[in-house]
Amino acid sequence: MPQSLAFFQGKVVPIEEAQVNVMTHALHYGTAVFEGIRGNWNSVEEKLYVFRMEEHYERLLQGCSMLMLNIPYTASDLCQITIDLLRQCDYKQDLYIRPLAYKSEELVANLKLQEIDSDFTLIMVPFGDYLDSDGALKCCTSSWRRVDDTNVPPRLKISGTYVNGILAKTEATLAGFDEAIMLTQDGYVSEGSGENLFMINDGAIFTPPVSDNNLTGITRDSAIEIANQTLGIEVIERRIRRSELYFADEVFLTGTAAHIQAVGYLDNRTIGSGESGPITSKINAVYQEAIRGNHVDFKDWCTGI
C-alpha cells in the first residue's frame, strides 16, 4: 500500500504531521521557492521514472540564493532525499513531486530576507492530466501582464510571483478558456500561466527568449533538445508579437504539469487546423517516450526508482 509521507523539518513524517504555524513568514509574504517534478510510471517495466530531477533542484537552489533561503542541502542531497521518500511512499502511478524551500521563522511584520530561518519540505501526490482538454487547448490573451524582472525575477519559481499567473488562469477559466497566454509589459508574448510557449511557421520553431519574463522551463529545454536532436530543427529564440500567434501554423505549450499541449484556438480564432499539428505531434511523441524512460537518446533525463 502506498503511504502518504512528507519530508519535513529534516525527517520523514506522515503527511498529517507536516504542519506549519500561522505565524510562518512564507505564509504571509510568499517568501518561498518551489519545484514541480514529475514521476512517470512505466507500466511495462513496473518502474517510476523521475524526469530531470537534478535540473529541477538546480533551479530551486537558484531561487534559494535569490531569496536568501539557506538550506543545508546540495542538488544531489535533494535528489537523494527525493529518491528515499519515493521509495518509502511506494506509489505505482504518475506523481507530482513538490519540493518547497521557505522562510519558516514564525515572525510577522518583518520585510527582510536576511537573518530569517529557512527550511525545506517535500511532498508528493498522485497526478494525472493537468490541463483538462479533449484535444487542442482553447486559450485567451490575459488582461494581466506577466510580472517583469524589474518587479520580481520571473525566471525562478518564487511562490509570491504565482499570484500573477493565478490571476491570469482564473480570469481565463472563468471565461471558459483552458489557459491564459500572458504578454510582457511591452506587449510581447511571454508564456502561459504555468507553461512556456512555442510557435511554428513554415517548418521553423520559435520561442520567446527568457528575457521576455518567462520561467526557465525544463520542458521548454527538453522540447528544444528534441526538436534539435530528433527533428534536426534548431529552435529560434526571438520576441513574438501577439498577432503572430493567430496566423501561426502551430502553437504549443510546455510544462511539467501540462506536458506538451497544442493550442488550437486563441481569442476565439483558430490556429492552423485547430488540432495538434505535425511538428507538435512529433515532438510530443518523442517527449512522451522520453519521460517514461523509453527513449534511448534521452535515458539520462530519467532517474529510475
Task: Note the helical H segments in the chain.
Answer: 25-29, 53-66, 75-89, 162-174, 218-231, 242-246, 278-291
Stretch that binds ligand PMP, among 102-110, 122-130, 191-199, 202-210 (CB under 6 A): 191-199
Return left, alpha or beta for 253; rule: phi > 0 is left, psi -120 to 50 is alpha, else beta: beta
Check if 138 is active-site: no
Q: Which residues contact 51 (CB under 8 A, 6 or more apart)?
A: 37, 38, 39, 40, 218, 256, 290, 291, 301, 302
Q: Does 256 bind ligand PMP (CB under 6 A)?
A: yes
Nearer to ligand PMP, 194 or 277 (CB): 194
Q: Which residues contact 252 (CB under 8 A, 6 or more apart)?
A: 197, 198, 200, 223, 260, 261, 262, 263, 276, 280, 283, 284
Binding mask 46-85 for ligand PMP (x = CB under 6 A): ----------------------------------------
> Would you say 33 and 158 are in contact if contact means Cβ atoms under 8 Å apart?
yes
Pick from 191, 212, 225, 250: which binds ligand PMP (CB under 6 A)?
191
C-alpha cell at 18: 507536516
Q: Does 212 bind ligand PMP (CB under 6 A)?
A: no
Q: Does 24 bind ligand PMP (CB under 6 A)?
A: no
Taking CB under 6 A as the criterion, which residues in 92-151 touch ligand PMP?
Answer: none
Taking CB under 6 A as the criterion, which residues in 216-245 touch ligand PMP?
Answer: 217-220
Nearer to ligand PMP, 106 or 129 (CB): 129
Pick from 63, 165, 208, 293: which binds ligand PMP (CB under 6 A)?
165
C-alpha cell at 259: 506536458
Sites of contact with ligand PMP (CB under 6 A): 36, 165, 191, 194-196, 214-215, 217-220, 254-256
What residues are labeled active site? Answer: 157
